[in-house]
Amino acid sequence: MSAVGGIIAVVFGIFWTIMAFTITREAKSISPNDATNIVAIVFPLFGVVFVIAGVVGIVYNIYNAAGKKRFSLFDITSSDEEADLFNELVHRSDNGKTDVAKPETLESRLGKLDTLRQQGAISESEYLAQRQRILNSL
């Protein structure tokens, strides 16, 4: 939504600048004094500031939406539920493949579980329960 605000700021800034130049040109032709010349310079600059702020806002929001470390105020799904399809579209590595982590294979999950049992991190009953859980997930 903020990118839309940036576009609106750019359009408003262009409109402001055109109108300000038109108005100040007419004012200078009516009374060409120093105060009018200063207003004729400063007044249109507000439009230029709006255009610059809008462009910066648009670039920031596009970078934030498509960047590798993008930020979202709302997470629609967690990484446990399903893969983020937008990640697959924008996060490509140098070889053209996506950087999205691939799910673990059954063998690697059982291997890690076996390693935990051998290291004594889990008991035999915990090992058997987790092993059965992994096998049931097929």
Per-domain residue ranges for the chain?
A: 2-73, 106-136
Reading phi first (left if > 0) and then psi (alpha if -120 to 50, else beta), residue 59 is in: alpha
pLDDT at 67 over 90: no
Burial 39-65 (b: 16+ CB within 10 A, else e): ebeebbeebeebbeebeebbeebeeee
User: pLDDT higher for 82 or 56?
Assistant: 56
Reading phi first (left if > 0) and then psi (alpha if -120 to 50, else beta), residue 32 is in: beta
69-127 pLDDT, tens digit per residue, is 666 665 555 556 656 555 666 554 444 454 455 567 888 888 888 888 898 888 888 88
